[in-house]
Amino acid sequence: MAQDFDFDAIVVGSGITGGWSAKQLTEAGLKVLMLERGPDIPHQTGYTTEMKAPWDMPFRGEGDEELYQREYAVQRLNRHFTEFTQDHFVNDAENPYQTGEGSDFNWFRSYNLGGRSLTWGRQSYRWSDYDFDANRRDGFGTDWPIRYADIAPWYDLVEEFIGVSGSMEGLPQLPDGKFQPPMALNAVEAAVRERISARWPERRLMVGRTANLTEAKEGRAKCQYRAICQRGCSFGAYFSTQSSTLPAAQAAGNLTLVTDAVVEKVDYDPATQRVTGVRWIDKAEGRRRSASARMVFLNAGSFNSVHLMLNSASEAMPAGLANSSGVLGTHIMDHPSTLSVAALMPGFEDVTTFGNRPTGTVIARYRNMDEMDGEGHTRGFSYQGGALQSAWVRGKREAGLGAEYKNSLRAPGPWRMVLVAFADCMPRETNRLMLDRVKVDADGIPQLKIDFAFGAEEHAALAQAKADAADMMTHAGGQVLMGFDRPGTGGGAIHEMGGARMGHDPATSVLNKWSQAHDVPNLFVTDGAQMSSSACQNPSLTYMALTARACDHAVQLLREGRI
């Protein structure tokens, strides 16, 4: 089909959505170029620390804090950034960005094959019409041009392919899907589930729905319960580009994968009003290259896709590619999140667990559904967390020396339960991305500047989440140790999204309901940049479903000769 073009489609980015674009488009028979800005990390052989013990590492897995302060000043704040995983995160010193005055934003990034699919938290939740209708209902942001029924079949497809384990719960706010058998709740969690449900029937604690296999499938083994996913998993037991979509795309044939390729511009032809290809910097060879294609999929990660569009401004589109609305870069979001409660859970001293379950528990959203019962906020929050036994680290808080002290740390410690709230982030015009006017990166590309702050609604939601969490833990027999109600720094949920939002109206949105640019029919943005609202559940599954849906539509348009 490529005719005068080098490729039918160019996919920018190889992460969670890029892998899906490559798979869907190659399986439809298209000739596809996938560009990844970072180095190759081959499945299995590239996971260099996977099998190592702490004592095999120079800094025992904690890593060289001196190096981290200097070169990983942001990434080091990620809980999953360790000496084992440091090569799966960017070097902040080499990849700078700016924040606006009064703004603070921790931008966690993985520039490597597979992007953040290697390091993601794997929690996989469907959105419901409480989420897709949220903007219309309370007037924040712009109305989504889709509803649950539009995306439901694509959720089916994605869940079945990536493998999501989880329990069927029948909750309208967190629709069930095509799940593999769920992982088990431990004894404390099972008891807490019953105690909470008995008092508050609308509050449901369940095991986290996670993209870790409980049954083997297509060349992937089931989870080994190590919970070291972010190092890379040779068993292929969690979804990543490497374990899942890339092998499928390669099996389909016609995929060209180029790593170390930093895309700097998307080319636009004003005569045809189409994009014609992309240009990139070949980091391995230190030269600039380009390729043409009949359509372009941006899957660079929310902020980088927007960055690329802003940086692709041209005479015909001076405000940025596909930005006739002027809203490109605006209404970015990230879930406000905090530890709502940590509680001691007495009464379970005679029970323990074996194995490391790579998921926690979830309490689905229950506020502001059919009754508006939020205090100072109009949307939802949900909790992730779980019950665990404290490890030897408890000794750091205790007096003692000698044999008795040592022996006291030998067995698993007291049970605790933690609930971490994630709340809706309201889409606000003032939270936005721009190109920095002065600062450029090492390649001479203007740096991204992030303006971001949480507002009154986010603070109110987390305040209610803290109060509710303490109530639930106390009712479930726990002793509350602590709890917080202030959101952490933006970016902390690693759910940054928005900036090229979907909408009905080309005057107020960047993309239509097919993730297709209103202004440029052969340009698709199917990562988190397309999001018009944030919901309060983890967004990756929705990005994947929207990507598969957009690919299907794009292929149809291509076949019909409409793009």
Partner 1 sequence: MEGRGWSRREFAGGGSLLALALGLPSAAVYLEGLDKGDAPSDRQRAIMREVADMVIPDTDTPGAAKAGVGDFVLLALAHGLEGSRAALAPDAVSSTIRQHLRRDGSLDHARWLENTLDRAVGGDWPAKPAERKLEALAAIDAEAFAEGAGPHPWRMVKGLILTGYYTSEIGGSQELAYEPLPGRYDPALPMGQDTRAYSNEWTGVDFG
Residues that bind partner 1 (CB under 8 A): 51, 53-55, 58-62, 64-67, 69-70, 79, 183-187, 190, 224-228, 342, 349-357, 386, 388-403, 405-407, 409-413, 416, 418
Buried b (16+ CB within 10 A) or exposed e, 238-273: bbbbbbbbbbbbeebebbebbbbbbbbbbbbeeeee
Half-sphere CA count of 277, side-chain side, radius 13 A = 14
Q: Which is nearer to partner 1, 54 or 326 (CB)?
A: 54
Rounded distance, CA 116 to CA 79, Å? 14
Tokens read off for 324: 């006739």
Closest of 302, 298, 287, 288 to residue 448, by C-alpha: 302
Q: Which is nearer to partner 1, 315 or 398 (CB)?
A: 398
Q: Which is nearer to partner 1, 372 or 481 (CB)?
A: 481
Tokens read off for 552: 């299907």
Tell me how far, at minimum, the Cβ of 61 lies from partner 1, in Å.
Answer: 6
Tell me how far, at minimum, the Cβ of 106 lies from partner 1, in Å.
Answer: 18
Rounded distance, CA 252 to CA 24, Å? 9
Q: Nearest 5°: CA angle at 338, between 333 and 340?
A: 140
Closest of 466, 378, 359 to residue 425, by C-alpha: 378
Tell me how far, at minimum, the Cβ of 343 lies from partner 1, in Å.
Answer: 12
Q: Which is nearer to partner 1, 53 or 271 (CB)?
A: 53
Q: Which is nearer to partner 1, 102 or 402 (CB)?
A: 402
DSSP H helical ranges for 371-521? 403-408, 456-475
Helix (H, G, I), strand (E, B) or coil at 260: coil
Tell me how far, at minimum, the Cβ of 384 lies from partner 1, in Å.
Answer: 12
Tell me how far, at minimum, the Cβ of 213 lies from partner 1, in Å.
Answer: 13
Phi, psi angles (nearest 5°) of residue 125: -130, 140
Tell me how far, at minimum, the Cβ of 553 lies from partner 1, in Å.
Answer: 40
Beta bridge partners of 499: none
Measured CA distances, 178 to 132, 153, 171, 204, 225 (Å)? 20, 10, 14, 19, 22
Q: Nearest 5°: CA angle at 152, between 562 and 143?
A: 70
The sign of the torsion formed by the CA atoms of 57, 58, 63, 67 equals: negative
Q: Which is nearer to partner 1, 139 or 355 (CB)?
A: 355
Q: Which is nearer to partner 1, 349 or 373 (CB)?
A: 349
Closest of 529, 509, 530, 533 to residue 519, by C-alpha: 509
Instruction: Give the DSSP letter of residue 312.
Output: T
Tell me how far, at minimum, the Cβ of 83 lies from partner 1, in Å.
Answer: 10
Q: Which is nearer to partner 1, 284 or 481 (CB)?
A: 481
Q: Which is nearer to partner 1, 335 or 357 (CB)?
A: 357
Rounded distance, CA 74 to CA 443, Å? 21
Tell me how far, at minimum, the Cβ of 326 lies from partner 1, in Å.
Answer: 44
Tell me how far, at minimum, the Cβ of 296 lies from partner 1, in Å.
Answer: 40
Tell me how far, at minimum, the Cβ of 222 lies from partner 1, in Å.
Answer: 9
Cβ(120)–Cβ(78) below 8 Å = no
Cβ(550)–Cβ(515) below 8 Å = yes
Tell me how far, at minimum, the Cβ of 345 lies from partner 1, in Å.
Answer: 13
Residues with Cβ within 8 Å of 224's Cβ and at least 6 positions away in sequence, in order, are 235, 237
Helix (H, G, I), strand (E, B) or coil at 207: strand
Tokens read off for 213: 């296999």
Q: Which is nearer to partner 1, 62 or 375 (CB)?
A: 62
Q: Which is nearer to partner 1, 183 or 497 (CB)?
A: 183
Q: Which is nearer to partner 1, 58 or 170 (CB)?
A: 58
Q: Which is nearer to partner 1, 371 or 404 (CB)?
A: 404
Q: Residue 521's CB: how many other CB atoms inside 10 A?
A: 20
Closest of 222, 276, 283, 253 to residue 441, by C-alpha: 283
Beta bridge partners of 269: 274
Tell me how far, at minimum, the Cβ of 104 lies from partner 1, in Å.
Answer: 19
Tell me how far, at minimum, the Cβ of 59 lies from partner 1, in Å.
Answer: 7
Rounded distance, CA 234 to CA 227, Å? 13
Q: Which is nearer to partner 1, 327 or 470 (CB)?
A: 470
Location of structure tokens 């967390």: 385
Q: Nearest 5°: CA angle at 533, between 366 and 106?
A: 100
Tell me how far, at minimum, the Cβ of 544 lies from partner 1, in Å.
Answer: 26
Location of structure tokens 């439809």: 28
